[in-house]
Amino acid sequence: MPTWLIVLIVVVAVAVLGAVIWLVTQEMQRKRLQQRFGPEYDRTVAEKDSPRAAQRELAERERRHKELDIRPLSASARERYAREWAQVQEKFVDQPAAAVGDAERLLNSLMAERGYPTEGYEQQLADLSVRHAKTLEHYRAAHTTQQKRDGASTEDLRDAMVRYRTVFEDLLTDGADEKRDHDRDHHDRRNGHDHDRADRHETERQASASRRTESNGGR
Reported as half-sphere exposure (CB side, CA atoms, 13 A), residue 143 has a value of: 16
What string of DSSP letters covers 169-185? HHHHHTTHHHHHHHHHH
pLDDT greater than 50 at residue 184: no
How far apart are the C-alpha atoms of 43 and 47, rounded to whole Å? 6
| Residues 82, 172 contacting (CB under 8 angstroms) | yes
Helix, strand, or coil here: 175?
A: coil
Question: Global pTM?
Answer: 0.68
86 residue type, one letter: A
How far apart are the C-alpha atoms of 133 and 69, rounded to whole Å? 18
What's the pLDDT score for residue 29? 67
Q: Vertex 62, ends 57 and 63: CA angle to 5°?
A: 95
How far apart are the C-alpha atoms of 205 and 18, rounded to whole Å? 61
- Tell me the per-residue pLDDT of 35-86, one tens digit each, with 9 for 90 and over: 778 788 888 888 887 888 988 899 999 999 999 999 999 999 999 999 999 9
